[in-house]
């Protein structure tokens, strides 16, 4: 068997890293492939869960002595600090690794410095192999670490004519069961789910990640956040059912924005402080409008059902747009049919300051 190229090994490391998505937060997803001096794969690993061994440590344990003189191919710069596990930089040096190839540098001021430590020990370190791909696989974590607030995905469901509820307020269900199952899977990949008190008062959602067929809860539940300026969430609201952690974010706790309601940047900063790296904004239309108007949404995921209502609230209200020239421009990145509905994924284009 011939050896594999560093590029091919990185493709595999990125694939491995993705397996940890949703269970590593507040840590990143990381994959690692070890090659011996002939380019033969002698170890593979990924960071699977918070507090668990890092990708490099898993791969080194597999490789044992065969790692000596070899190359470590890692999606993110090896850490240099002692957290729940020892520094990976030291473990790679101890194992006799000669060369480390990294896709993306670590933006985390606490953990970075791995490359410098490795170089000081005589290990060759290179950056940038498949960097865009690795960046995309870790986009939520990298974005949130660089700027200090969570990566925010706004998810909504609407009819083909853009309605999020009927004239009488009923909205269950606009989309098919398949689309709703897809949403539960999406909830399983984030650290927090955010809803406005308007949605809690109207729909009384649980906001947990669960199997819709048998109702069983996913093992890891995102923090449920209700944005509720004056604390109007009823004592018997389902979000308070104890099935997952819940934070009722009020003005008293977070502070008020210019309109006297919960200050949204302060809310996101507090979530980051609590370890939230990716969050799912589930509405409703008014809260989504406020987040979009403030430029705080990183990704839009819309489930569009082949239904028409002709009346009722629209999926988005008051997003700070009054004329067509100010429309929030999106770049479509994916369109997938889910059950009888369409799932449209798009990224807001950065606006000129």
Task: Kindly state the smallest distance separating residue 351's Cβ from ligand NAP, in Å.
Answer: 19
Using rule CB under 6 A, residue 206 touches ligand NAP:
no
CA dist 179 and 340 (Å) reads 8
| Least gap, CB of 259 to ligand NAP (angstroms) | 7
List the one residue from 33, 76, 101, 262 that touches ligand NAP (CB under 6 A). Answer: 262
Could you say which of 59, 271, 283, 301 contacts ligand NAP (CB under 6 A)? 283
CA distances from 37 to 34, 84, 114 (A): 10, 31, 22
- Residue number, 104 or 288, with CB nearest to ligand NAP: 288
Nearer to ligand NAP, 277 or 286 (CB): 286
Among positions 198, 246, 296, 343, the unique one binding ligand NAP when judged by CB under 6 A: 198
Rg (CA), the chain: 23
Q: Is 208 helix (H, G, I), strand (E, B) or coil?
A: coil
Give min distance, CB of 165 to ligand NAP, in A.
4
- The least CB distance from residue 309 to ligand NAP, in Å, is 11
Angle at 320 between CA 145 and CA 351, to 5 degrees: 50
Q: ∠ CA(130), CA(7), CA(78), 5° rounding?
A: 65
Minimum CB–partner distance for residue 71 and ligand NAP (Å): 47
The arrangement of strands across the sheet holding 99-104 comes to 41-46, 31-35, 71-76, 99-104, 124-127
**Size of interface with ligand NAP, in residues (CB under 6 A):** 34
The distance of closest approach from Cβ of residue 254 to ligand NAP in the complex, given in angstroms and rounded to an integer, is 9
Helix (H, G, I), strand (E, B) or coil at 200: helix
* Measured distance CA(331)–CA(289) in Å, rounded: 18
Q: Return contacts of 19-23, CB within 8 angstroms, 24+ apart.
A: 19/46, 19/48, 20/46, 20/47, 20/48, 20/49, 21/137, 21/189, 22/188, 22/189, 22/190, 22/220, 23/48, 23/49, 23/50, 23/220
Q: Which of residues 149-188 bind ligand NAP (CB under 6 A)?
A: 156-158, 164-165, 169, 171, 174
Q: Is 287 in the site for ligand NAP (CB under 6 A)?
A: yes
Residue list, annotated binding site for Zn(2+): 54, 79, 88
Q: Which residues are annotated as a binding site for NADP(+)?
A: 157, 173, 199, 229, 284-290
Contact flag: residue 232 with ligand NAP (CB under 6 A):
yes
Measured CA to CA, the distance from residue 238 to residue 229 in angstroms comes to: 19
The pairing of strands 31-35 and 41-46 is antiparallel
Residue 264 is a binding residue for ligand NAP (CB under 6 A):
yes
Which of 29, 100, 197, 319 is close enough to bind ligand NAP by CB under 6 A?
197
Residues 227, 244, 271, 309: which binds ligand NAP (CB under 6 A)? 227
> Which residues participate in the annotated binding site?
54, 79, 88, 157, 171, 173, 187, 199, 203, 207, 210, 229, 282, 284-290
Q: How far apart are CA 164 and CA 180, in angstroms?
A: 14
Which candidate, 337, 333, 327, places its Cα nearest to that of 346?
333
Does 224 help bind ligand NAP (rule: CB under 6 A)?
Answer: no
Q: List, by residue number, the catalytic residues.
A: 56
Asked if 307 interacts with ligand NAP (CB under 6 A), we say no
What is the contact mask toward ligand NAP in residues 241 to 260, using x (rule: CB under 6 A)?
----------------x---
Nearest CB to ligand NAP, comparing residues 244 and 262 = 262
Rounded to whole angstroms, the Cα distance separating 222 from 226 reads 13
Write the CB contacts of 175 (distance below 8 Å, at least 6 apart in sequence).
157, 303, 305, 339, 341
Q: Does residue 142 contact residue 135 with C-beta atoms inside 8 Å?
A: yes
Site for ligand NAP, rule CB under 6 A: 156-158, 164-165, 169, 171, 174, 195-199, 202-203, 227-230, 232, 257, 261-262, 264, 282-287, 290, 313, 315, 317
């Amino acid at each position: 068997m011939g050896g594999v190229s560093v590029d091919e090994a990185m493709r595999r490391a990125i694939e491995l890293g993705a397996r940890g998505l949703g269970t590593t937060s507040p840590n990143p997803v990381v994959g690692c492939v070890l090659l011996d001096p002939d380019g033969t794969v002698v170890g593979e690993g990924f960071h699977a869960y918070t507090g668990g061994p890092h990708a490099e440590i898993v791969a080194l344990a597999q490789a044992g002595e065969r790692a000596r003189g070899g190359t470590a191919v890692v999606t993110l710069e090896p850490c240099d600090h002692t957290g729940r596990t020892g520094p990976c930089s030291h473990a790679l040096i101890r194992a006799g690794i000669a060369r480390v190839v990294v896709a993306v540098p670590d933006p985390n001021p606490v953990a970075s410095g791995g490359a410098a430590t490795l170089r000081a020990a005589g290990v060759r370190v290179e950056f940038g192999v498949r960097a865009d791909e690795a960046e995309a696989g870790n986009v939520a974590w990298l974005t949130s670490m660089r700027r200090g607030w969570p990566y925010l995905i706004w998810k909504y469901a609407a009819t083909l004519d853009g309605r999020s509820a009927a004239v009488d307020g009923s909205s269950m269900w606009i989309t098919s069961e398949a689309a709703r199952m897809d949403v539960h899977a999406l909830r399983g990949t984030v650290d927090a789910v955010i809803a406005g008190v308007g949605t809690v008062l109207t729909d009384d959602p649980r906001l947990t990640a669960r199997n819709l067929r048998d109702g069983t809860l996913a093992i890891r539940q995102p923090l449920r956040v209700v944005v509720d300026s004056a604390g109007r969430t009823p004592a018997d609201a389902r979000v308070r059912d104890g099935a997952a952690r819940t934070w009722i974010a009020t003005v008293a706790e977070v502070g008020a924005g210019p309109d006297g309601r919960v200050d949204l940047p302060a809310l996101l900063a507090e979530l980051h402080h609590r370890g939230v790296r990716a969050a799912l904004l589930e509405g409703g239309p008014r809260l989504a409008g406020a987040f979009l108007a403030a430029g705080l949404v990183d990704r839009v995921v819309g489930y569009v059902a082949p239904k028409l209502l002709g009346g009722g609230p629209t999926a988005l209200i008051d997003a700070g747009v009054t004329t067509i020239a100010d429309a929030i421009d999106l770049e479509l990145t994916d369109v997938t049919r889910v059950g009888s509905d369409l799932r449209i994924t798009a990224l807001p284009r950065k606006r000129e300051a």
